[in-house]
Amino acid sequence: MQKSLSADIFGRWGGEEFVGIIKNVDRKKLKKIGNRYRKLIEKSSITLENKPVGITVSIGATLAQNDDSISSIIKRADQLMYECKQKGRNCLASD
């Protein structure tokens, strides 16, 4: 018996990278959720040497396809994230 996830999961993937698994979304909902997180992060700040420092995020969002592997999904999302960084950061790119 295969267990399914009962909730969305977010975690640290690497140095400054995080990955999220979001259930039951289509492209439109994925983009809406991604932009909601992006805007929340954009409104946040941390204090460094007694000064607020703004935070932004570049998001690569993709949907899993039937023939995908974990590796192919991550690779596609990573490519999309780098598109954001090339555009000036603090954006979402989806396919």
pTM of the model: 0.83
CATH placement of domain 22-94: 3.30.70.270
Q: Alpha carbon 3 to chain centroid distance? A: 24
CA distance 69 to 74: 9
Using alpha carbons, list the distances in angstroms from residue 81 to 46, 47, 77: 23, 26, 6
- pLDDT given for residue 39 in this prediction: 96
Active site residue 42: no
In the set 16, 17, 42, 49, the catalytic residue is: 16
Strand stretches in the chain, DSSP E: 9-12, 18-21, 45-48, 51-54, 59-61, 92-94
Q: What is the pLDDT along the chain (95 residues), one digit of tens a residue?
A: 556 656 889 999 988 899 999 989 999 999 999 999 999 999 999 999 999 999 999 999 999 999 999 999 999 999 999 999 999 889 999 99
- pLDDT given for residue 18 in this prediction: 92
Q: Alpha carbon 48 to chain centroid distance? A: 25
> Which helix H or strand E contains 65, and what residues bound it?
none
Structure tokens at 57: 């995020």
> Which residue has tokens 């995908």?
68
